[in-house]
Amino acid sequence: MTTTEVYHAIDEYRSAARNAVRAGFDGIEIHAGIAYIHAADTNAWGGAPDMQRILAMLRPNFGGTIIANGGLDPASGETLLASGMADMVSFGRRFIANPDLVARIRRGGPYNEPNQHPFHGGGARGYLGYTALPQAQSPV
């Protein structure tokens, strides 16, 4: 949403609350309130990564959990966590390319590289060809 759209949505909630009270309700309760922010750096896919700028805006202004997403790999994720600018990191393409990503992170790799050309092809191609490490090599 743009900032203008956010204000528009707030106005809609305000009108709905007034209407409810006008209709005889004693009050209204809105179940919302931010539990965490999961910030996706969409620039990381093609342009210049913007995560540092995003986190520099979020961290001082939000006291809850911040999850960083977009263009990260386990090493850069660790660096980000160590910097204190994010509390958690999440992966998209790395998970597609590594069905056993968690086990691979635990043992320090190696990682399959994602091939994103077939990601949006509309079929299974691009999602099913990635192999997991042999079980014996994966720590519990």
Ligand X SMILES: Cc1cc2nc3c(=O)[nH]c(=O)nc-3n(C[C@H](O)[C@H](O)[C@H](O)COP(=O)(O)O)c2cc1C
- CA atoms of 88 and 67, how far apart (whole Å): 5
- CA atoms of 43 and 10, how far apart (whole Å): 28
Residues that bind ligand X (CB under 6 A): 40, 44, 69-72, 91-94, 96, 119
Whose Cβ is closer to ligand X: residue 92's or residue 99's?
92
Q: Which residue is nearest to ligand X (CB)?
A: 92
How many angstroms separate the most distant Cα atoms in the chain? 66
Whose Cβ is closer to ligand X: residue 40's or residue 103's?
40
Shortest CB 90 distance to ligand X, Å: 7
Shortest CB 9 distance to ligand X, Å: 19
Shortest CB 120 distance to ligand X, Å: 6
DSSP state of 64: S
- CA atoms of 113 and 110, how far apart (whole Å): 10
